[in-house]
């Protein structure tokens, strides 16, 4: 989550509940017999993916107030100003450096390096090393300070100052003692500012292959056979991601601004319960999807990360309830705006969106979808189709400006994302890794 609980938008639920459930269906091959009819318990819906709910779903009852069609929205919100809302967001931007970064990480890392046997280590080489770190004053090794067969790119600044430079000029088979000092602000307090000695042996030297036209076809991208085409392909892909992020963040800001101008009554309990079911299902389905890809991810891990990002210190139930309450307020407000502005959706528009959802997720009907999720997806589709139109209307009426002195913020954000992805996918950091 990027912007607290408000990021859990009504509009986003279409993607998470539909796409997530479809993925889980294929990945986990599980189902639920829950009913979304009036008065039915949502308990069985929690089995949609993992079979283990984050909260006690049996206490969450769904009824006619769980959906917009069952309430009078004017009873729950007094609208404030919702046109001319001011939004500040950096336009999508993709730099050449960002394109190169992604190509290097997602494509070039899978290409076998070329071995070097006739010279010493130089900047830019990949060296395979064994190393052992010891405290200089006691000679004792420290946790995380040793490894064997570690591939290190010289010049990557992965290790503390002096480690990589200390290997330049060394040959295969050489061993060297590196007399170094950890930074004073190092993340591990026991090592911060401490003098240490790393004994390092160079096992091999290699270089990353040059990206050439002859290499590109091996990446298996349809219609991409040259370096220029690969860079264009990656640029367009990143720009599409940037645009999606931009649109989402603009919508978030608009929603937050519009909600701040409203006066709300507590939304109906049935609606809050419904969104708690949807959020719970989405977390379980997302975890099932990643687990099917070989990652050990649980709903709890995803939720705990979200709670941490939102700086939320309460319990899981409180967090989901707060998020569900925010979702309920958002859909109530958007529906009230639609009524005031005469915004409607046609049966054809709803049918088209429902058909797309079914096609994308392998269901034969909305009823079948509803049976598995425990949610009346016919009602959900109607609500989200209308919410989408209202958000488009609010965006047209909003005043969207560029943040001051942040013309490159979009690219910087993506660069941070790429670095995070690379870090997560790489070997776990050792105590020798710098926090720079």
Contact 117, 127 (CB under 8 A): no
Domain final residue pick, 173, 208, 243 = 208
- Looking at residue 18, the DSSP 8-state letter turns out to be I
What is the total residue count of the chain? Answer: 436
Residue of 252, 258, 246 lying closest to 403 (CA atoms):
246
pLDDT at site 375: 85
127 and 198 share one domain: yes
55 and 121 share one domain: no
Q: How far is CA 354 from the centre of its chain?
A: 26
pTM of the model: 0.67
pLDDT at site 406: 54
By mean pLDDT, which of 46-55, 245-254, 256-265, 286-295 is the weakest? 46-55
Contact 159, 428 (CB under 8 A): no
Q: Is the pLDDT assigned to residue 81 strictly greater than 60?
A: yes
265 and 381 share one domain: yes
| Spatial distance between the Cα atoms of 121 and 116, rounded to a whole number of angstroms | 9
Query: Exposure of 193 by Cβ count < 10 A (0-12 exposed, 13-18 middle, 19+ buried)?
Result: exposed
Q: How far is CA 165 from the centre of its chain?
A: 35
| Spatial distance between the Cα atoms of 4 and 306, rounded to a whole number of angstroms | 9
Does residue 220 form part of some domain?
Answer: no
The parent domain of residue 145 ranges over 112-208
The tally of domains found in the chain comes to 2
Does residue 66 form part of some domain?
Answer: yes
| Spatial distance between the Cα atoms of 15 and 291, rounded to a whole number of angstroms | 19
Q: Is the pLDDT assigned to residue 409 strictly greater than 70?
A: no
Residue of 114, 6, 34 lying closest to 277 (CA atoms):
34
pLDDT at site 253: 96
71 and 129 share one domain: no
309 and 372 share one domain: yes
| Spatial distance between the Cα atoms of 82 and 390, rounded to a whole number of angstroms | 11
Q: Supply the CATH number for residue 143's domain.
A: 3.10.50.40
CB burial string 52-74: b at 16+ within 10 A, e below = ebbbebeebbbbebbbbeebebe
55 and 170 share one domain: no
65 and 135 share one domain: no
63 and 182 share one domain: no
189 and 275 share one domain: no
pLDDT at site 53: 56
Q: How far is CA 81 from the centre of its chain?
A: 32
Does residue 13 form part of some domain?
Answer: yes
3-class state of residue 176 by DSSP: strand
pLDDT at site 94: 95
278 and 151 share one domain: no
Does residue 376 form part of some domain?
Answer: yes
Residue that the structure tokens 């859990």 belong to? 8
Does residue 285 form part of some domain?
Answer: yes
| Spatial distance between the Cα atoms of 69 and 140, rounded to a whole number of angstroms | 70
Domain final residue pick, 192, 208, 224 = 208
Contacts of 289 (CB under 8 A, 6+ apart): 20, 23, 24, 27
3-class state of residue 430 by DSSP: coil
Contact 82, 337 (CB under 8 A): yes
Residue that the structure tokens 């609010």 belong to? 394
Query: pLDDT tens digit string along 152-167?
Result: 999 888 899 999 999 9
Is residue 228 very low, low, confident or very high in pLDDT (cuts 50, 70, 90)?
very high
Domain final residue pick, 169, 189, 208 = 208
* Mean pLDDT estimate for the chain: 81
Instruction: Tell me phi and psi for residue 295, to 5 degrees.
Output: -95, 135
Query: Exposure of 117 by Cβ count < 10 A (0-12 exposed, 13-18 middle, 19+ buried)?
Result: exposed
């Amino acid at each position: 989550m990027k912007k607290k609980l408000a990021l859990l938008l009504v509009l986003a639920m279409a993607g998470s509940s539909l796409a997530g459930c479809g993925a889980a269906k294929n990945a986990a091959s599980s189902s639920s017999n829950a009913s979304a009819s009036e008065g039915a318990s949502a308990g069985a819906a929690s089995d949609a993916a993992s079979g283990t709910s984050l909260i006690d779903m049996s206490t969450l009852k769904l009824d006619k107030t769980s959906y917009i069609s069952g309430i009078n929205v004017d009873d729950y919100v007094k609208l404030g100003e919702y046109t001319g809302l001011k939004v500040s967001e950096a336009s999508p931007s993709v730099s050449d450096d960002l394109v190169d970064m992604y190509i290097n990480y997602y494509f070039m890392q899978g290409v076998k390096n070329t071995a070097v046997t006739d010279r010493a280590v130089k900047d830019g080489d990949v060296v395979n090393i064994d190393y052992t770190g010891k405290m200089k004053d006691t000679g004792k090794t420290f946790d995380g300070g040793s490894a064997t067969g570690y591939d290190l790119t010289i010049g990557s600044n992965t290790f503390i100052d002096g480690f990589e430079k200390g290997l330049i000029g060394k040959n295969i088979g050489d061993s060297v003692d590196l007399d170094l000092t950890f930074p004073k602000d190092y993340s591990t307090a026991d090592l911060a500012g401490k003098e240490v000695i790393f004994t390092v042996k160079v096992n091999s030297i290699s270089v990353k292959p040059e990206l050439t036209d002859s290499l590109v076809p091996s990446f298996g991208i349809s219609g991409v056979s040259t370096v220029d085409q690969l860079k264009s392909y990656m640029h367009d892909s990143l720009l599409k991601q940037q645009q999606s992020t931009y649109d989402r963040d603009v919508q978030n800001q608009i929603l937050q601004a519009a909600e701040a101008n409203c006066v709300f009554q507590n939304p109906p309990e049935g609606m809050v319960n419904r969104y708690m079911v949807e959020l719970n299902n989405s977390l379980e389905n997302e975890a099932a999807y990643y687990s099917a890809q070989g990652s050990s991810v649980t709903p709890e891990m995803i939720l705990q990360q979200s709670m941490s990002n939102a700086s939320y210190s309460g319990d899981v139930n409180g967090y989901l309830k707060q998020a569900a309450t925010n979702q309920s307020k958002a859909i109530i407000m958007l529906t009230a705006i639609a009524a005031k502005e005469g915004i409607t959706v046609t049966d054809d528009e709803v049918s088209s969106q429902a058909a797309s959802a079914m096609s994308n997720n392998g269901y034969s009907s909305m009823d079948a979808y509803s049976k598995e999720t425990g949610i009346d997806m016919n009602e959900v589709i109607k609500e989200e189709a209308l919410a989408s139109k209202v958000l488009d209307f609010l965006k047209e009426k909003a005043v969207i400006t560029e943040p001051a002195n942040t013309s490159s913020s979009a690219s910087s954000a993506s660069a941070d994302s790429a670095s995070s992805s690379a870090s997560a996918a790489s070997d776990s950091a050792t105590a020798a890794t710098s926090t720079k």
